[in-house]
Structure 1
Amino acid sequence: MNAALIEGISMGLVLSAMIGPVFFTLIQNSLEHGFRRTAVLALGILASDSIYVIVTYFGIRFLADTTLFEQVLGYVGGLILIGFGLISLVKKRADRPSTGGLSISKIKKRTAFAKGFSINGVNPFVLLFWISIASLVYLKSNWGTSDILLYYSGILITVFSIDLLKAFIAKKLAHLVTPRLMQILNKVVGLIMVGFGIRLIWWASMN
């Protein structure tokens, strides 16, 4: 197997092991709305990561040194995460996943995709991660175009696959989840989201 691909898969495993707002959102959505809708949410995460790959690789890495950019992204990202957290906190009850093999509506699919895209996309730490990856790639002077493509593909495919695995495992455990437990989970996820949002705002204010 190509060394660049192996290195990309390894980096993808490292990124997937990080516990952040995306992790809790995947678990919550899988339990609450089912695997298919969570797969669409994971596609939104993949799309935002792909955009960051393109942006950082093609010369906008200098944004990492732009304090104003980091501050704006930190404040906006923090407010969005707090917003998602408050929505989870004020939920009266969790809707159960639909049954009978009915397809998910296009509106719900778009909502899930947008949620995954925004929660991952507004996190400045995700941007900084991809900037560091782009810097690492540029140091690989012996890598050709195919090596770079394999490296990035290894990271993205690994992260996406593990996101799907997390959602699948959570869905398999759904029969153990009672409405009361789901309500508690919503509160916990909401508090975690608010916590991450406050942390982002604090981080932005310190720069």
Structure 2
Amino acid sequence: MFSDLEIIGTGLKLGLVLAAMTGPIFFSLIQAGVESGLRAGVAVGAGVWVSDLLFVLATYFGFESLQSWVKWEAYGVALGVAGAIILLIFGGFTLLRAHRQKAGLSGVRLPSTYAALWLKGFLINTVNPFTFFFWITVMGVYVLAESWNPHQATLFFGTILTAIFLTDFAKVMLAKRIRPWLRDGHVLLIRRISGIVLVGFGLILLFRVLVLKA
């Protein structure tokens, strides 16, 4: 039997573990914060947070349906391929922008409106298979296994989401703080690293779902 304080502690630890992982979202947040400032980074983060919230609602109210999806063999492949394509697209455009910036060219680029940045964060998080399996595992291992009531489940998921929100905001704030100290070459390097990371994760994901699971 978990007390409310123990539930908060468990949720906090899971939220911090998830937030500490260095993946496509981390580099997207840093890139947006360094290149375009606090609001741009928050826009990317907001897309991630909305995606996580929808996953929480889906796993809580539709756990049985989601379990049937997981058992469907083609589901993991379809989600993995979709995720890989999204990562490759964003990574490719990021690298293309870096190349054109170095060459002093303009033109082909992803729009940097807040809506586009929000969509970037939302899509990268949503089509990441790890995100789906993280939330459905947390739901099964904690909420269902411990027979938590709605109050306990809300406290648990709320703590995880709050931890993610605060740590993502801290990452964006850090990017904003170091921005004045960076020269154009540093910003270009960050853009290249972000693009390489996105493409790299996309290729790894594609390899895992098409080769290792074949």
TM above 0.5: yes
Matches within 5 A, 1:1-207: 2-57=5-60, 58-59=62-63, 60-91=66-97, 92-93=100-101, 108-136=113-141, 137-141=143-147, 143-205=148-210, 206-207=212-213
Aligned-pair distance for 1:65? 2.5
Summarize deviations over 1:13-51 as a string: whole Å, max 9, x none.
110111110000000110001011211211110011111
Identity within the alignment, %:
31
Aligned-pair distance for 1:66? 2.2
Larger mean Cα displacement after TM superposition, 56-65 or 31-40: 56-65
Aligned-pair distance for 1:185? 1.5
Q: Is the 8 A contact 1:74 1:124 kept in 2?
A: yes
Give the RMSD, CA atoms, in angstroms. 1.5
Q: Is the 8 A contact 1:86 1:190 kept in 2?
A: yes
How far apart are the structure 2 equivalents of 1:190 and 1:85?
4
Tell me the secondary structure at the aligned position of residue 140 of structure 1. coil
Q: Which runs of 5+ in 1 are unaligned?
A: 95-106
Counterpart in 2 of 1:97?
A: none
Aligned-pair distance for 1:55? 1.6
Aligned-pair distance for 1:161? 0.9
How far apart are the structure 2 equivalents of 1:189 and 1:41?
14
How far apart are the structure 2 equivalents of 1:188 and 1:40?
20
How far apart are the structure 2 equivalents of 1:183 and 1:64?
40
Q: Is the 8 A contact 2:28 2:44 kept in 1?
A: no
Amino acid at match of 1:68: A
Counterpart in 2 of 1:104?
A: none
Counterpart in 1 of 2:108?
A: none
Amino acid at match of 1:63: W
Q: Is the 8 A contact 1:64 1:131 kept in 2?
A: no
Number of equivalent positions: 194
- TM-score of the pair, normalised by structure 1: 0.89
Q: Which runs of 5+ in 2 are unaligned?
A: 103-111
Counterpart in 1 of 2:107?
A: none
Counterpart in 1 of 2:106?
A: none
Runs of 4+ in 1 over 4 A off after TM superposition: none
